[in-house]
Each structure stands twice: as C-alpha cells, then as structure tokens.
Structure 1
C-alpha cells in the first residue's frame, strides 16, 4: 500500500510540474533584471534586459532566448565595459535590431548628468543575437542633452518604408532622430534639426513604439523607477512624430502580486497574432532599489484598437511558438 501511495504522490508531483511548465511563470527567468527589450529573431524569442545592480556593478549585459516563452536559455555577458572603452559604469536599457544579418545593440552608459561628463547612448554590433558584441563607433552615439532629455533609454524603430528612427530620453523629455542606414549617426530632418522633441504628457522615461493597423502606438514609463508608483502609459497617433496624446495606463502594480511594474517592451508574434508586454517589477516588501525581476503578460486590444489594461500575474503566459 505504501508503494502505491508513493507512486501516486510521484505521479501527482510530475503532473504538477508538467502543468507549471505550460506557462512561463513570473519572473520568466532567475536573477535581478530590468528594462527588458523583447524581440523575435529567427523564430526564437529574445529578451535583452538590464543587469539590475548598483551602478558600479552594472557593467555588462546578459541575454535570454526561448523557443516558446516558457523555457529560457541564458547567454552570459554578451557585452561588457571591456568591449566599450568609454563606458565605465551603469550600463542599462538595451534596445536591439537586426539589419542585413547583423545585430545592433543600443544601450545607455555612465548615467551622465551634464554635457561635460563622458557617456550617453552607445551602439554595439554582432554577427549573432548572442554576440559577442563590439563597439561600433568607439564613442557614444549621443553624448549631449538635447531639449532637456538625458541621453538614456533608447529605442530603435524601423518604419514600413525601411527608415530607422531612434527614440530616447530621460528626465521627462523624449526626442526622436532619424538614423543613418549604417547606424553611425543621424540624418537631419527637413529644416536641419537632428533631434526633435516628441514628449507626451506624463512622460518620464522608457519609450517604446510599435505599429498596428497603420497607427503608431507610443508607450512610456511614468513615476519613479525605484518606487511602487512605476507604470506604463500610451498614446495612439497617425504619425511617428505625433502629436502623442496620452490615452491612459496599460500597466501598473497590483500589491497582491508585486509593485513597481514598468519599463517595458512589446513582442508581436505574427504567427499567432498575439501581443506580449515584457516588463520588470519588484517583489512586495523588498526595499532594495535594484531588486527588479523580468516578467511577461499577454496584451490585448478592444474593438477600437485601444490597449486593454494589463493585469500582472504570477502565472505569466502559455507557450506560444513564433
């Protein structure tokens, strides 16, 4: 009888484990990681987050890949300050894009506070999504404040006409610039201006853009990144330049689950037509500002194309192959 009972318990545990594997769970991988950039490369999901640590230790990037959003593989130290000679500390907020079979990783470094300090936003390049990445320019791509925007939190966006744009900015200011085809600099807009301000109401940092049914969905983070009031808002516009009129919140904390939910990205699986929001949040009761964990939820739209408020969960999302 004891043998049968042991067998039954073993089968129940196995079934439970199998059931747990049917969803990603949240966080989706172990460790303190923030500001996740999610994307699909070659029928595989990739997430490029900030390694969340004190600025003196936040000096490298790891990446994570998955065939289905449930099982994740860690790719350690795809880029660090040894590869970026001008970056000394505080590397964070990566954004990545593939072009002509090369992978370009944009990132913030050094947390500069004025135009006299060295640092800003850089770009590195690799032949594979997991690197190794090397400095493309040997210097920052943006190293000055324009329109009051701290040069941090960049996002690279490819429009339908094949043009590439860079959207970035902290300190409650957001700019856009048109990238050269080789990503070594910028093409001035008509009239000669390189950086245009497109700051919406409530903007703090962490911009992200995607296009759906001909409309531009411009998203950003509000609140303080070390506090429980971090959240994500959005606008829908007819043009990339806006105006971006704030519609409302997409993501915020639920103190039954976690707090400080923000600095996100969006993944669109064209095969299933599912949209996912990848973001970071903080465990309740944890007061360490760097203790941020990367999570994922499904993102849905109403009949008018507006984003439905996302409910944060412990379960995450079911498996979905790209």
Structure 2
C-alpha cells in the first residue's frame, strides 16, 4: 500500500466497532478526555465550569507554559493561558478558592513550592509572597520530606492543609504536610507523614475526606514506566497517623493503560471520580508524553476503596453538550499525504478519540482530506493539533468535487497557539482538506488528535478571537494573525502607516481613514470583551473597543486627527476586571515561526583535505562557511590504518567561529556521520559537541566512551542517550557512526549495525558554536583519531552505501 497517498474508506465497520470492547483506538473512546500531553492533573469545579490544571508534558522534561483546560460539559475542552508564573518549568499545579474569595495557585519546581493569588481561576496570577520567585516551601522544609507536588485539602471547618513530597521511599523519609495559617502564607504546624504509614510513598499526595475518614492517596514507583500506580491510607486526622490500605489503580494487563498515577478527585453530586495521567499509546521512550484520563471511584460499605480497572471509555459528559450540531467528519473516509506508521493512521484524525493521533511522515507541508460523502453546509472547523501550547500555520480548503478547491480559512501566517483551533465560514462542500504549512517549533509535525466539521457556528470555546498589534500591518491590510478568527482588516479609505511609538509597534490612521473587519460570528450583541491601546496625550492607554463594533464586525475610523492604535483584543467571553487590567499593561507577543529552509550539510571536516604530517591550527568547514580554530594545541594529521586522521591526545580542542542555523533548534531532524578510532576508550570522551548550551535535552554530542548509557550519543537525557556496549572491545579499530533523527525516532548505527532506535524529544537552544575534541564546557577530552565528521540539518535515512 502506498503510504504517500493513503486512502481509507470507513463504512459500517467503523461505527460497529463502538459496540465492541472499547480499546485505546476505538472511535469515540472517552479516555483520554483531554487532547494533548499533560500530566499531574488537578480537577476543580468553580461555578458551572470545570477546570483541569496540569503539567505541560510532551516536551521532553515537563517544560511548558502555564496553562489550564476548561469545559462546561466535561467533554469539550478549551486550552487557556494562565498568565503566570513566568517560568516554563511548571509542575503539578493545584488551584483552590480561599474563604476571602481569591484563588490560590500552588505549583512546584525542583525542589520548591510556590503560591500565586488571583481574582479568577484563570489568573492573572502574582506571587502571594511578593517577588515572582519567592518560595513558599523550600526543600526539606519538613525534615526528610523532599519538596515537590504540592496539593491542598480544605477540611470541614475551613482549615487548609498542604501536602508535598517526592522520593519518600528512603528510610526515615516520607511526605511533608502542614496546616496553613489563615492567610495561607505559612504554617501553624507541620509533620512528616513517614513511609511507615504510607507504604512506598514516592510522590503526588492527595487528601480527601468522606464520612469522617481522611483518605491519603499517593503514587508509587517510577512515573516513567509501567510500575507507576496509586495507593492509599486512612486516618481520623488530616495529619495522621495513617494506616496503609492498598493499591487503587495500576497498569492494565494489556499495557494500554500504562503507568497511571498522580491523580486528583472530583466529587459530582454523590459520585466520586479519579482524574489521573497515563502514558500515551504507543508508549514514549521517557514516559513524558502523558495524557489525562478519568474513571469512577467506588467506596465499599466499610469505607475502603474498590480497586479501579482503568478504562478507555471514561465517564462521559456531566452536563448538556455545548455543541449545537453534530461532527460531520466523524468516521468519514480520509486521504492523507502520508502517515508515520501503523500507530498513526489517517483515520485517527476523524475518530473523535483523544488517545489516537494521525502523524504524517515528515515535518514538511503535509495534508489530510476528508470526504463528507455528500455536500454539507460547513460553518465551523475545529482542529486539535498535537501540541496545543505551540502554534501551527495551516490552510483549510473545501471542494464540491475533490478537484476544484476554495479557501475556507487561511492561517498560513497564524501565530496563536490553542486547542481547539476554531475556524468559521459558510460554504456548501463535500470535501475538506487541511494542509499544515509551518510550526512554531522545529520538529513538530502537523499531527492531529482530531479534526471536526460542523454545520453550525460552534462558538462555545472561550478564546481570543482578535489579537492585533502594529506588527500585524503588512502594508495593505491589518492581519488578525494573533486571533482565533484569522482574517484581516481591509483599508476602505485613506492611509495607514506602521510606526514604532513609545516602545510599541503601532498603526497610524491618517484623518478620515477607515479599516473594516467582517466575520459571520462577530456581533456587538454577543457576550464579549473588546479593548485597544490608543496613543493619546503622549502615552498609551487601554480603552474599550466597543465603540468600533458593528452588527457584523469592526469598523475603525479616524476623525479629523490621526488615530494611533495597537493591541486590539476581542474575547468571546466577559473578562473579569483583573484580566482587563492585565491586558492594559501587557502587549501581544509575536513569536516567529521555526526556520523552514534547510541548509543541508552544515558541518563537514575531513582529514583528507590535509597531508600526513601537517600541523593544523585551523580546519576549514566545508558545510557552512567558516573555520574551526584550535583553542590550545594544534592537531597533527596522521595515516592510521588506511585513513588520514586528526590525532587528538586530550590536549587539543577546536571551536567553530560560526553558529549553526536556526533549522537545528528545538526538536529538529538531523543527521550525523563520523569515522573515529580510539586506541584506549575511557568512560566519556567527547569527539564533537554540536551545541553550546548545557541543560537537559539541549545537547547533541558524539561520544567515544565506555559509559553504557551515553557512550556514543549524549543529549543530557537519561532515556534519550545511547551507549555502545562493545566500545571497549572495539578499541583501536575504526568505527563508522551514523545517527539520523526524523523528529520522532532517532536511529544509531555503528559499522552498519543498528544499535538503537527509539523515539526522543529534544530541546535544542540557539547554537553559538561547535566544539571538537571536548564538550562545550571544556570537559570529556577526546584522545583518539577523527577521520571525518558531518552534520546535516535534515533527516537522511541510513543506506548501506554510507
């Protein structure tokens, strides 16, 4: 079957599968109930809205912006930014509403806990203790309790308790706990809940109360693999002592519910539900592509908890659906430009299942086409891309015959992240085609959890519909590339210029100029919040934009004086005052998309360019323009077992005088090839370090060492690194090393033999220089021979002729 043009016609068998056992890839399966990679979920209900606060996952190490998911029906969820903290290492957030009406956010970084305060469950937040990085609970605040995973519990009398801990498995260790002061800025008492009371306590404490009994639940073993599971203990006081009771939730027999844990509990009426994360299917190497699921929690008559069999079905909606029309794309035939493998089939994009993903084969422009099987009126398209916290650029087209296409939504210059991405229009068509044209980050394919097509205007997702700064003026129109509606303001009269005024990119309308924007869903009568920054009397002021709204859009008209504007915002929901104040002082941020134009061979050094006996201080790079310059002693070119080679003895190292291109940043595909010979192999010797940063997953290093974990390729990632168990046995012999990474799977070959193939995720930062003979930190000196070294900023699969 040709993978380049893959066609699947789904008939009755697609829908009939729903009546069978619900598996991880069954169409319409309800678990996971969130489309994306998120972990450590805390579920809350404030008013009529459900919220999921979670660690942003799928980025290699739990790195990601602070976000929340919200829903009115517990089935259709919208991703929303929380506007603080400003760190991108936000783990295990928990939010509660205090008796003073404020909302409190608790989150952790290794190994501190922080507390924020806000007037809404969405923020904006500020640190309750003042400075943004002020710590509420430092590490070992309670002796032998390693600080992580803070979670609150409110007792019947209103007292607030905070629990935290990780790696509580050591003798004398356990979980830190404390009763908080009335202002929630400190503690009136604390206690270590030892692992003699909560057996095998590792992390993720959660406390609830039922019928006078306090239930202390927690996760045990490794969150990276199948051993992760949830246990519990009970007490008659929130600080214990606790009595261990047993396991609640663990990996299923077939392994598709894998490593469930770090949970919270939702009480809905008289029913209890456990909301937890589990690993994706197929499972990622590191186990950091976790997804959020829910199942019913059942208590026995004696107060014990029944062990839970995790499901793929979930529990369904808790309220009337916010949707007013059916998903026309569900179960319909699809075509795609490609698919990665049998785990990421095209039909997974139309199966309304958040646990299945269509992943194209490449990181380039890829498309998927849906046959609705008859002409339908199309007004809304929802797209749930793989990573909702990063933006995608795309175009949606429709057709009546599959041959002649018209644009439904042009988002090729979009820079707004979100899930779902919502596009509106009105057309009659049978076919819908989405093409991904760009991404915020390198190495993020245009993969989809779901694409949904509706006949009605589905406007329930609370989102930023319009977001325009002066930088969005392109000389002829003001493009809404930072807003969910897309489109643009058209110049109907006069002139508009782009100017930078008092630190802001702004548009200036000459007197009498008119800009108009139309949309089928944009009316002044709809609940909304609209604002714009206007420059008057020598300063910027945020004002209401309601005066510009019309019955079908926006009309901005300058009077007899020039009109200077930026940061035009329109939300399809009513903001609280604190949110308006935040927007009044915070401009829209435009992040440029990832570099798309590959340069091919970027590093190439070869000893054949020299004569045996040469003493070399400078090595010309035959990839990008530039040279490598010795930082200490020169290398000597020697003939070694039939190959010319640069001889390193541990004293020499070189640094490039050029940076590597932006096409290698983030999770970008790359290919590395080298010939190395090491007479005596030490534990770690760095042949080449292609990166200048040094944090986790920010490295691409070629190693010649005996370290079994990272002796051949090192990314500073325990699960992503690759060792070569035969390194010592191959001392004194030429090794041909070939590494190729396509943005998902990295394959490592040594002398033509595949020694590693696994999915990884990289976080490569801008590369200022490349180092030969040591790593960028000046460590792990290489003492051996290098014949040639090449690096490409693209994926080139291994072929025998290499």
Q: Tell me the TM-score normalized by structure 1.
A: 0.82
Deviation at 1:43, TM superposition (A): 2.5
Q: Where does residue 185 of structure 2 map in the other structure?
A: 184
Cα distance between partner residues in 2 of 1:61 and 1:288: 22
Q: Where does residue 700 of structure 2 map in the other structure?
A: none
The yes-or-no answer on 1:282 pairing with 2:287 is no
Q: Where does residue 115 of structure 2 map in the other structure?
A: 123
- For 1:216-227, list aligned pairs within 5 A: 216-227=214-225
- For 1:101-250, list aligned pairs within 5 A: 101-109=101-109, 111-112=110-111, 120-137=112-129, 138=131, 139-145=134-140, 146-172=142-168, 173-187=174-188, 189=189, 195-199=190-194, 200-250=198-248
Deviation at 1:218, TM superposition (A): 0.7
Deviation at 1:255, TM superposition (A): 4.5
Deviation at 1:175, TM superposition (A): 1.3
The yes-or-no answer on 1:66 pairing with 2:68 is no
- Measured against aligned partners, the alpha-carbon deviations of 1:56-103 in whole angstroms (never above 9, x if no partner) come to x7142211112232221211344332xxxxx5x532011111012211
Higher-RCO chain (CA-CA 8 Å, sequence separation at least 6): 1
Cα distance between partner residues in 2 of 1:203 and 1:33: 22
**Contact residue 171 and residue 205 of structure 1 kept, 8 A:** yes
- For 1:17-36, list aligned pairs within 5 A: 25-36=30-41
**Contact residue 298 and residue 317 of structure 1 kept, 8 A:** yes
Q: Secondary structure at the match of 1:319?
A: coil
The yes-or-no answer on 1:54 pairing with 2:60 is yes
Distance 1:267 1:96, change over 3 A: same
Deviates more, 1:273-282 or 1:312-321: 312-321
Deviation at 1:178, TM superposition (A): 1.5
Cα distance between partner residues in 2 of 1:59 and 1:234: 30
Q: Where does residue 84 of structure 1 map in the other structure?
A: none
Q: Where does residue 19 of structure 1 map in the other structure?
A: none
Deviation at 1:205, TM superposition (A): 0.6
Q: Where does residue 309 of structure 1 map in the other structure?
A: 307
Q: Where does residue 258 of structure 1 map in the other structure?
A: 257
Cα distance between partner residues in 2 of 1:251 and 1:67: 27
Deviation at 1:302, TM superposition (A): 1.3
Distance 1:103 1:226, change over 3 A: same
Q: Secondary structure at the match of 2:80?
A: strand
Deviates more, 1:68-77 or 1:199-208: 68-77
Cα distance between partner residues in 2 of 1:24 and 1:95: 27
Deviation at 1:168, TM superposition (A): 0.8
Q: Where does residue 293 of structure 1 map in the other structure?
A: 291
Cα distance between partner residues in 2 of 1:226 and 1:285: 10
- Measured against aligned partners, the alpha-carbon deviations of 1:33-68 in whole angstroms (never above 9, x if no partner) come to 00000111113221101011334x714221111223
- Measured against aligned partners, the alpha-carbon deviations of 1:12-36 in whole angstroms (never above 9, x if no partner) come to 97xx8xxxxxx87111111110000
Cα distance between partner residues in 1 of 2:85 and 2:41: 17
The counterpart of 1:320, out of the listed 318, 328, 347, is 318
**Contact residue 24 and residue 71 of structure 1 kept, 8 A:** no
Q: Where does residue 117 of structure 1 map in the other structure?
A: none
Report which of the two structures shows the higher radius of gyration computed on alpha carbons: 2
Cα distance between partner residues in 1 of 2:228 and 2:114: 26
**Contact residue 95 and residue 121 of structure 2 kept, 8 A:** no
Q: Tell me the TM-score normalized by structure 2.
A: 0.34
Cα distance between partner residues in 1 of 2:103 and 2:52: 14
**Contact residue 40 and residue 277 of structure 2 kept, 8 A:** yes
Deviates more, 1:206-215 or 1:67-76: 67-76
**Contact residue 158 and residue 164 of structure 1 kept, 8 A:** yes
Q: Where does residue 94 of structure 2 map in the other structure?
A: 95
Unaligned runs of 5+ in 1: 1-8, 17-22, 82-86, 113-119, 190-194
Cα distance between partner residues in 1 of 2:286 and 2:276: 18
Q: CA RMSD in A?
A: 2.6
Q: Secondary structure at the match of 2:264?
A: strand
Cα distance between partner residues in 1 of 2:154 and 2:82: 26
Q: Where does residue 512 of structure 2 map in the other structure?
A: none
Cα distance between partner residues in 2 of 1:237 and 1:314: 32
**Contact residue 24 and residue 69 of structure 1 kept, 8 A:** no
**Contact residue 31 and residue 293 of structure 2 kept, 8 A:** yes
**Contact residue 221 and residue 263 of structure 1 kept, 8 A:** yes
Cα distance between partner residues in 2 of 1:44 and 1:218: 26
**Contact residue 218 and residue 230 of structure 2 kept, 8 A:** yes
Q: Secondary structure at the match of 2:84?
A: strand
- Measured against aligned partners, the alpha-carbon deviations of 1:167-222 in whole angstroms (never above 9, x if no partner) come to 111121201111112212122x3xxxxx3111322111100011101110110000
**Contact residue 26 and residue 315 of structure 1 kept, 8 A:** yes
